[in-house]
Chain A
Amino acid sequence: MSEAVIELKGVCKSFGGVTANNDVSLIVPRGSITGLIGPNGSGKSTLFSSIVGYHPIDKGSILFNGREISRLSVPEIARLGLLRTFQTTRIYGKMNGLENMLISETQRQVGVFNMFAHGRKEAIDRAERLISFVGLYPKRFLPAGSLSFGQQKLLEFAMAMMNEPEVLLLDEPTAGINPTLINGLIDRLRSANIDFGITLFIIEHNMRVIMSMASKIYCLAHGELLATGDAESIQRDQRVIDAYLGAH
């Protein structure tokens, strides 16, 4: 297996007396699609939030390309090329689709005066290509807030692609999307991984989706890492089955 692009070592996070993550260590290999599963409330989203810097972790370390990022702020981590999408979709509702795309351009090498740059032809081209990649080109001039939930999800994914991240953390990308669109979305996630070389780290409840995509899956339960393995072995792991069915 290739080197790790994200490496967590003994990450602990609690809110008041509630332990959300306890001693979680895992590796996301470069160029892979890695899955993160677990029952509701097992600490998956908290772990994502810790990685992208929403809150300081209590203990442990988070390495991105070998660099410690657990003390950096959200925008700083995003500018390093580590991006997340949200479980409850977040787009810029009153701006139209194309504007949503244009403002999502990468901010990695941005100087002060870049704020005042005009929309470049290449950027507009790329935005239009990516928005048609997710099938929303005909709707690009509509306010993003007027799109359906599934379409907003697709737009959010396209915005993430526009940002040219190295790693993309997706929090339940298929939740709330109708089954027909899910297939299209799986294709696009694969394409993002293979054609654009983006490492994907995905939280997913839809087992069919995650089993068909991820080469390696981590399972969390009660904030702790329960099992690790490929799709086959995770599906057969008795502890994972117990966790999902509620046995302790």
Chain B
Amino acid sequence: MKRIERGRQSIALLALFAAGLAAPLLLSDYTNELALLWLMILFAVTWDILGGQMGYNSLGNIFFFGAGMYISAIVQIGLFYDVGMYTSGARTTHISFSDLQYFSGLALGMLAAGIGSAILAAAAGWALFGLRGPYFAIGTLGLAIAAAELVASWEWVGAASGISMPVFPGNPELQKLFFYMLFFALGFALLLFLNWLYSTRFRLALNAVRDDEEKAEAMGLHTRRIKRTALIVAAFFLGIAGAIFGNMTGFIEPRDIAFPTTTFNIYMVLMVLLGGKGTFWGPVVGATVFHIIKEATWTYFLGWQYVTLGLLIVIIVVYFQQGIVGWMIESYPHWFAPKPASEESDAYAKASIDLAARPEGSP
């Protein structure tokens, strides 16, 4: 029965892969929207590692997104020019990147963003995982806000006026497709990676921390190591996502693009709650539904979009806490749960029924 479950999961992943490849061809007018959809999926799925599987509600995951964005920018520029000169407002020299410089810089920048964010996560985890519950949430939020303010006053990286990223060498259509493919590849790699990771003991360990961390400690689990690993995984993918997003928009600045604590940062939580936290497909479904709702309201209710968004938050939190996939698991458990083996044929079941049925006082 375990094998059937794994088989179904593989088919679903394969279908998603096909859909991801076909989407920009079928809906070529919406390539940018679809790229953002993969970013939303990345946000939701990485948030769920801690918030859903491990029960640690982080409000600072956007920190690793922004950190990756800036690390990538510094690498891409710093490989060929002086960063301080490049970002200087008084700059007069004309700067351009050759094709080779652009693509090699981007590749190295993305790699550095992933690794750099992971290292920052190891350090942040060391400091933050002493906190629990609401203190952890506020501590992580503080990290993101502090990072935004620090970068906003750091002249070398352009301070609050930001950095214009190297320009993509190609026509706009090609550019859209290119960044779509980057997001798609990263998002799908994340799903494949988690599909493997959640099949190991690590998922049980995350769930144990979620259900009762003190018990997990009492049983000798390396809880700190587990928590830090989870944060590092999330940060690695968020860092690369930040690098891609910075290049896709072409311009980065700290408060609204790199560390947007009140938009992307809140969407992460919202999408996971909408889809169903602690489930594999919940965040993916939540991100997709949310992205469609958001784009529709931004298009048809412009001016009222934040009101609609606020209402959506209230409705989810009050009436629909288990989320879409959570609701499905509750309503149709036989689709998801392994079937219990028939009890008569089962030696263990028999033995334990015998034991339980023993009358009082028998030896």
Contact = CB atoms under 8 A, between A and B. Distances in A.
Question: Which of B218, B359, B362 has the most chain A CB atoms closer than 10 A to its own CB?
Answer: B218
Interface stretch (A23-31, A94-102, A196-204, A227-235): A94-102
Contacts of B200: 115-118
A93 interface: yes
A116 B202 contact: yes
Contacts of A114: 201
Given A102-B204, A141-B337, A141-B340, A52 B352 contact: no
Interface in A104-149: 104, 106-108, 110, 112, 114-119, 128-129, 131-138, 141
Contacts, number: 128
B218 A74 contact: yes
Interface string A182-205: 011001000000000000000000
User: By DSSP majority rule, is chain B's interface helix, strand, loop, or mixed?
Assistant: helix
A94 B211 contact: yes
A176 interface: no
A70 interface: no
Contacts of B362: 183
Contacts of B223: 75
A82 B348 CA distance: 29
A71 interface: no
Contacts of A107: 219-222
A75 B359 CA distance: 39
Interface string A71-96: 00111001100011010001111110
Nearest to B363: A187
B205 interface: yes
Contacts of B221: 75, 103, 107
Contact of A95 (B208, B358, B360): B208
B52 to A, nearest CB: 11
Nearest to B211: A92
A225 interface: no
B340 A179 contact: no
Contacts of A116: 197, 200-202
A126 B343 CA distance: 19
A163 interface: yes
Given A138-B353, A179-B360, A163 B201 contact: no
A159 interface: yes
A90 B219 CA distance: 11
A53 B215 CA distance: 13
B219 A159 contact: yes
B355 interface: yes
A180 interface: yes
Contact of A132 (B211, B278, B351, B363): B351
B217 interface: yes
B4 to A, nearest CB: 15
Contacts of A91: 211-212, 215
A184 B202 contact: no
A180 to B, nearest CB: 5
Contacts of A75: 217-218, 220-223
Question: Which of A74, A112, A118, A131 has the most chain B CB atoms closer than 10 A to its own CB?
Answer: A74
20 contacts: A73-B217, A74-B217, A75-B218, A90-B215, A90-B218, A92-B215, A94-B210, A99-B204, A108-B220, A115-B202, A115-B226, A118-B200, A118-B201, A128-B348, A132-B348, A133-B352, A134-B352, A138-B343, A141-B338, A141-B340
Interface of B: 197, 199-202, 204-205, 207-208, 210-212, 214-223, 225-226, 229, 278, 337-338, 340, 343, 346, 348-349, 351-353, 355-356, 358-363
